[in-house]
Amino acid sequence: MIKNPRSETRTNCKAFMHISFKRDLSKWIVSKFDNNHNHPLHLPQCTHLMPSQRKASHELISAIAGGNEFVGFTQEDQKTYLHAKRQRNLQYGEAESLLRCFQQQVAENSYFYYAIQLDVNEMITNIFWADHQMITNYGLFGDAVSFDTTFRTNKEYRPLALFCGFNHFRMTVIFGAALLYDETTESFEWLFETFFDAMSGKKLVSFFTDQDQAMAKAISQIMPEVFHGLCTFHLMQNALKHLGYLFKSGSKFSSDLKACIYDYENEHELIEAWNSLIDKYNLQENE
């Protein structure tokens, strides 16, 4: 039985490595190698969190110690320790500084809003805040909102979520910000509910996000009446991830796909163009 089912992520990547055994040398050698991937690789900042890397580090420590029985902790202990260490750092270091900053803002401006979500162990998980200017901007320009979690500039590489829009000068304005522990449906539901609470319940009309399933589920639960659109940048990034082989030099797939996104306002014409795209590049069986 599959313990943690995941969505299909294969991208028909052509990267490979062939290893063969040379009998005359009694050695294994790499005979062929191609490292040209058509998708993003694992981020260097997070490789130590991969199960294979945790397993490798535990095996190395065991080998140095002379066996598992001399290590004093299991792989699960190691994982738990790293999680607890992150929580301690957040609780006593960065979180305290952030809370003091928020308290100072509230003392200076009673319209400053912040909220914190705790887990079952009363550890900080998700944090949201909006100052007076953000709340005012949302009241004026909050009909159409873009929501992005692709910023990960903190040392823990956790999502910094921003609610953004445009003012009457077409300048970007921020309506609210959050630091998230994860990108689960539960976290998004808490965040969206908190956002509307900060904005005195004022609902938005159009909401633009990336193609995140957990986010989409939370949107349908918290704001089922909203028009949910997908960001064109993320659409193209998703196409590059799953259909990278069609973006090769000389191919018109990119321009044909962009035409479907940008060029048609009539539904019938769009459907014809989309079906033509599918047939032209033999994508009938591609989900």
Residue 158's pLDDT is 77
Residue 234's pLDDT is 83
Kindly report, residue by residue over 134-151, the tens digit of the pLDDT.
Answer: 999 999 999 999 998 877
The answer to whether the beta carbons of residues 8 and 33 sit under 8 Å apart is no
Pairing mode, strands 206-209 and 227-230: parallel
Written as tens digits, the pLDDT of the chain (287 aa) is 555 566 666 777 888 888 888 888 788 888 888 888 877 666 555 565 566 666 666 666 666 666 666 655 565 555 555 555 555 555 556 777 888 889 999 999 989 999 999 877 777 889 999 999 999 999 999 999 999 887 765 556 678 899 999 999 999 999 999 999 888 999 999 999 999 999 999 999 999 998 888 999 999 999 999 999 998 888 888 888 889 889 988 889 999 999 999 999 999 999 999 999 999 999 999 88
Helices (H), the chain: 51-65, 75-89, 95-108, 132-141, 185-198, 213-222, 232-242, 253-262, 267-280
Domain positions in the chain: 49-108, 111-230, 236-280
Integer-rounded Cα radius of gyration of the chain: 24
Residue 96's pLDDT is 75
For 111-230, CATH gives 3.30.420
